[in-house]
Homo-oligomer: A and B are copies of this chain.
Amino acid sequence: MARLLPTFMYLFYVPRFDGGDYLLPEEESRHCVKVLRLAAGDCLSITDGRGGLFLCRVVRADAKRCEITCVERTKGDDRRAFGLHVAVAPTKNIERFEWFLEKCTEVGIDEVTPLLCDRSERRIIHPDRLEKIIVAAMKQSLKTYLPALHPLTPVREFLRRPRESSGFIAHCGEGERQPLHRLYSPGRDAVILIGPEGDFSPDEIRLAADNGFLPVSLGQSRLRTETAGIVACHTIHLVNAMER
């Protein structure tokens, strides 16, 4: 990776890219030639969002149809030993949820599922816009794995799905809760549920328990939904980092 770093500053995302010659789409061509001012012979990197990292050269610096060719295929270094999935109710103010998506992509996450809960104030999202934010954050933080953004899912449907990962639900309701960092075992895949502004309903919390989701706390503070999401995400990273 090291030797790629200088050129790696210019990271483009091309789904299903598999090397060879390629014509950048108009928007990327413009960014490449007009914004980054790359000329023929200059280097750039492309990720396919699935861990593939391709060192490429500009063949023809056309602001509408920039021709590039792959000179080396390699892998990103951002593969993790654990899977991390956060299922969270989108906030009433969508900017807070968008911020969460940017930050968890920076810190590192595999899957995000927007949840529809009994007390959700927001019941509609626009996946295209959210997807753009995740892609931008992936490129900006030089990652080669694109987090998956799943469709808005009713929490009861989500809870009933079969899963092999460790399940946790962060809520502020009644009942015993242990800190997430105590219950999570390093190396395990984790899925963490975060509720809406009004928290999960007692019925949702009961159903989560019935489906093996362990109730957890995220520290002493009362956190906003989007803050709880990023704190949960970073907690899993740190517990794993401390094991090494």
Contacts and interface: CB of A to CB of B under 8 A. Distances in A.
A107 B223 contact: yes
A179 B238 CA distance: 10
A36 B231 CA distance: 30
Nearest to A79: B220
Contact of A107 (B77, B103, B106, B227): B227
Contact of A227 (B103, B179, B181, B221): B103
A166 interface: no
A231 B235 CA distance: 10
A142 interface: yes
Contacts of A181: 238, 241-242
Interface string A222-242: 111001001100110110011
A158 interface: no
Nearest to A137: B224
Closest 7 CB pairs of A and B: A141-B222, A106-B227, A142-B222, A234-B234, A238-B238, A106-B223, A108-B221
Given A78-B221, A106-B223, A108-B221, 14 more contacts: A107-B219, A107-B223, A108-B219, A108-B220, A140-B222, A141-B222, A141-B223, A141-B224, A142-B222, A181-B238, A181-B242, A219-B237, A234-B235, A242-B242
